[in-house]
Copies of this chain bind each other. A is one copy, B any other.
Amino acid sequence: MKILLVEDETRLAEAIAASLTKKGIAVDHTALLGDAIELAQQQTYDAIVLDRRLPDGDGITFIPWLRSSSVVTPVIVLTARNEPKERVAGLDLGADDYLGKPFLMEELFARLRAVMRRPSALAEPSIVLGRMTVDPIRMDVMVGELQLDLPRRELMVLVTLAKRKGKTVLRSVLETEIYNYEETIQSNALDAHVSRLRKRLADADAGVSIHNIRGVGYLLKEH
């Protein structure tokens, strides 16, 4: 689960990034429209949070550009004032939701969840596998009746694998899903997370196992 945050107010951006990160959602952040366009070309996000006022233009111009590249990623637009006029303009241009500043983090989460749950979004609700249930939107995991608390990174690994259950997920995909572009990884951190995650899943008797496809990636299966 990864979102793109386009916001030039540093304090706000950091607050949003910190909150989302804590919930196990990776955040790529930029203050510039130009960079946002580049990032969106390079990878796919589960959602985009977009400020209107940006140093190099009105954020809203980003949306037609996205849509014309047939990117269907949901977009939530942030704006200083919540004027109905602006709201209509945003939605007309293809934004999926609209949020006036200031707002509560909880409200942003709620709208992100709502927007990613939409049929056009990629994420499906609640994946069941073995004794385990993964909710990729709420980012939580149940084993039987008990909630399984996982460290952030391990949770991200598990959710990413669960979303493609039974299919091989490329190493590189896992890495880009779990780390943002400024956290470059220079070791086998991913392997370490997988290893620790395996142990936890075994201890919890989750009824699933993580297989490795040598030289390619990992895959999650019932066992």
- The residues of A with any CB-CB pair to B shorter than 8 Å are 19, 22-23, 38, 41-43, 82, 100, 103-107, 140, 147, 149, 151-152, 166-168, 170, 172-173, 176, 213-216
Q: Contacts A147-B167, A147-B168 known; A22 to B173 CB distance under 8 Å?
A: no
Residues of chain B contacted by A41 (CB below 8 angstroms): 100, 107
- Using CB atoms, name the residue of chain B closest to A107: B42
* Oligomer: number of copies: 2
Which of the residues B23, B100, B166 comes within 8 Å of A216, measured between beta carbons?
Answer: B23
Residues of chain B contacted by A149 (CB below 8 angstroms): 168, 213
Residues of chain B contacted by A176 (CB below 8 angstroms): 104, 106
- Using CB atoms, name the residue of chain B closest to A166: B147
Residues of chain B contacted by A173 (CB below 8 angstroms): 106
Decide if B106 touches A172 in the complex (CB within 8 Å): yes
Decide if A42 touches B104 in the complex (CB within 8 Å): yes
- Using CB atoms, name the residue of chain B closest to A151: B214
Interchain Cβ contacts under 8 Å between A and B, 22 examples:
A19-B172, A22-B215, A22-B216, A23-B216, A41-B100, A41-B107, A42-B103, A42-B104, A43-B104, A43-B107, A104-B172, A104-B176, A106-B170, A106-B172, A106-B173, A106-B176, A140-B168, A147-B167, A149-B168, A149-B213, A151-B214, A152-B215
Decide if A106 touches B22 in the complex (CB within 8 Å): no
A38 to B176, CA, bound (A): 37
A75 to B128, CA, bound (A): 40
A19 to B213, CA, bound (A): 14
Interchain nearest-CB distance for A26 vs B (Å): 14
Residues of chain B contacted by A167 (CB below 8 angstroms): 147
Residues of chain B contacted by A22 (CB below 8 angstroms): 215-216
- Using CB atoms, name the residue of chain B closest to A42: B104
Decide if B213 touches A105 in the complex (CB within 8 Å): no
